[in-house]
Chains A and B, each alone.
Chain A
């Protein structure tokens, strides 16, 4: 006969064990690999040695740092655009859609249920020189030559990823707006605030944590992207994730790849910590 307290180890044990083995341990392992001295194939059983050379290499290679900066900026642009575009949609669902909100939300989410790779491919089809936009333009007679700058550029990567993430970004914003007490808005109205003043002084501040969550839910998967850039970005549009991938596939230099991955992990975690602080401070202020 197990009491409540006696059950606890059986509840905590399995997830703790699984996440330790399949999540924490591998992350610690790339940390360990990033301090190995080899700059090529690694003899796993052999004597390791400790070296910070990999990090020296990362910090001493302008091409890496430049691509890191570009990737962070691209992910910020993508997350910012997706959040901004999703915001009015979430507002519509939360405040204007009324009884049909669930139906409208479902309609918004259906594209997200379509294979990610396929939605990316749809954009490749649309943007390519033989693609829909170009062939449609030629068919209608607007252009004689295909516009080849549409595909294989950073802009193509940004457009595609914003498209992919908009429905996902709407979710946390919508959830935050649903939690806003309608009585706050009524109180503001009773005190003489017009619709715009109520939006700017009540709805917007209270929905910001949701918007920030949306931003990071897009930023984190985007900053480490390496599949979409190869499909629609070509050599012009590669991101930091592509160099990490390259060190594990083409050049098999795991220590270098691990150091690059650790840098990305640290930057992502630092940004998230900053964001969480921001939200908490906001809560303390109100």
Chain B
């Protein structure tokens, strides 16, 4: 007669006494500490990044908007991320539909191909694409970076769309087709609207992957740097660090907002 007593806790049975809540809390402190330090120095008046602090300032944040090259690089990253996320989400969705709704020869191979970029180290893909563009005599630019980012984002888009679309009842599509719709318009009028939040969350994930990427971008940018490449180039100049940190804090706020939106959409979409 001990079972009913034990059944009170969350999973219905007792737990070990390991204080996992504390472990989680300690991990959060560790994870946020460097970020808090960055935040502190973005408001610190001195350019030396060491304690004691030199007083409060907002100069670095106003400095961001006076630095044309910095803003230009952020704009470049925005363009690359928007383009590559759109291509990756589109192609990943096509793979997901083909794999989930059709039985055909090479189905497994298509899925493997869409996932394969995930297991190739970035430095290998970077030199491979570098050689491709040199061989084809295509000048390196934001477009070549975007192509690279679309390739590494396709596995994420494919996996996200597949995991949600497998919860979508195929009978809905059968019903639309019984009512006379052809398959492309069934996809357009039934499947895509139902998948809307998932597609947006896949797109945002791809966007963040691209926006933050540097190992591929270093090899493939031409004259216009993306933000990480620009940041990498300027890290050497100590007196410019506070402005870069301020910019990064601003981007952090934007990225966190995007991530929260993606998270919200994903949980709302949960079947």
Q: Do A and B come from one complex?
A: yes
Chain B residues numbered 115-165 whose CB sits less than 8 Å from any CB in chain A: 116-125, 127-132, 134-135, 147-148, 150-151, 154
B8 on the A face (CB < 8 A): no
Judging by beta carbons under 8 Å apart, are A139 and B51 in contact? yes
Residue contact B260 to A106, C-beta cutoff 8 Å: yes
Which residue of chain B is the closest to A15 with respect to CB atoms? Answer: B91
* Binary per-residue interface labels of chain A (215-229) against chain B in the complex, 1 for a CB within 8 Å, 0 otherwise: 011001101111100
Q: Is the CB of A113 within 8 A of B131?
A: no
What secondary structure prevails in chain B residues at the interface with A? helix
Of B26-34, B60-68, B193-201, the stretch lying at the interface with chain A is B26-34
A139 and B52 in contact, given A85-B27, A126-B34, A223-B121 (Cβ under 8 angstroms): yes
* Stretch from A148-156, A181-189, A277-285 forming part of the interface with B: A181-189
**Residue B78, interface by CB 8 Å:** no
Q: Does A2 contact B121, Cβ atoms closer than 8 Å?
A: no
A98 to B34, CA, bound (A): 29
Which one of B90, B151, B232 lies within 8 Å of A19 (CB-CB)? Answer: B151
Q: How far is the CB of B75 from chain A (nearest CB, A)?
A: 16
- Nearest Cβ on chain A to B221's Cβ, whole angstroms: 13
User: Pick the contact of B228 from A6, A116, A125, A225 — CB < 8 Å?
Assistant: A116
Contact B118–A220 (Cβ < 8 Å) = yes
How far is A245 from B267 in the complex, measured between Cα atoms in Å?
41
Chain B residues with CB under 8 Å of A91's CB are 20
A111 within 8 A of B: yes
Q: Is B38 an interface residue (CB 8 A)?
A: yes
Residues of chain A within 8 A (CB-CB) of B79 are none
Q: Residues of A contacting B32 with CB < 8 Å?
A: 111
Shortest CB distance A34–B (Å): 10
Q: Are B131 and A30 in contact (CB under 8 A)?
A: yes
Whether a CB of chain B sits under 8 angstroms from the CB of A142 is no
Residue in A27, A92, A139 whose CB lies within 8 Å of B23: A92
Q: Which of A88, A108, A121, A136 contacts B31 (CB 8 A)?
A: A108
Neighbouring A residues of B119 by C-beta, 8 Å? 216, 220, 268-269, 272
A35 at the interface (CB under 8 A from B): no
Establish whether residues A14 and B31, one from each chain, have CB atoms under 8 Å apart when the complex forms.
Answer: no
Nearest CB to that of A11 among chain B residues?
B98
The reply to whether the CB of A131 lies closer than 8 angstroms to some CB of chain B is: yes
Decide: A244 near B91, CB < 8 A? Known: A96-B10, A195-B16, A226-B215.
Answer: no
Docked-complex contact A132 and B51, CB < 8 angstroms = yes
Complex formed: what's the CA distance from A265 to B128 in Å? 11
Q: Is B95 an interface residue (CB 8 A)?
A: yes
Q: Which residue of A lies closest to B148 (CB)?
A: A22
Q: For the complex, is B110 an interface residue (Cβ under 8 Å from A)? A: yes
A115: chain B residues within 8 A (beta carbon): 212, 227-228, 231, 248, 251-252, 255
A26 within 8 A of B: yes
Which residues in chain A, 206-251, are within 8 Å of chain B measured between CB atoms? 216-217, 220-221, 223-227, 231, 241, 244-245, 248
- Is B265 at the interface (CB under 8 A from chain A)? no
User: Which residues of A have CB within 8 Å of B45?
Assistant: none
Instruction: Give complex CA distance A206, B255 in Å.
Output: 34
A143 within 8 A of B: no
CA distance A2 to B37 in the complex (A): 58
Contact flags (1/0) for B80-115 with A, using CB distance below 8 Å?
000000010011101101100110100000100110
- A3 engages B128 (CB within 8 Å): no
How far in angstroms is the closest Cβ of chain B from A67? 13
Contacts A108-B31, A227-B232 given: A196-B16 contact, CB under 8 Å? yes
For the complex, is B182 an interface residue (Cβ under 8 Å from A)?
A: yes
Q: Is the CB of A108 within 8 A of B34?
A: no
B177 within 8 A of A: yes
**Mind listing 13 A-B residue pairs with CB under 8 Å?**
A15-B114, A27-B120, A27-B125, A30-B128, A113-B259, A121-B231, A163-B31, A185-B13, A221-B121, A225-B123, A226-B215, A244-B127, A268-B120
Report which A residues bind B (CB closer than 8 A): 1-4, 6-8, 10-12, 14-16, 18-19, 22-27, 29-30, 33, 44, 85, 88-89, 91-93, 95-98, 102, 104, 106-111, 113-119, 121-123, 125-126, 130-132, 134-136, 139, 163, 166-167, 182, 185-186, 189-190, 194-196, 198-199, 216-217, 220-221, 223-227, 231, 241, 244-245, 248, 254, 257-258, 261, 264-265, 268-269, 272
Given contacts A12-B98, A102-B267, A185-B11, 16 further A-B contacts (CB under 8 A): A15-B92, A15-B154, A18-B151, A26-B128, A30-B128, A89-B24, A98-B10, A115-B228, A125-B49, A130-B50, A139-B52, A189-B3, A220-B119, A227-B214, A241-B121, A257-B127
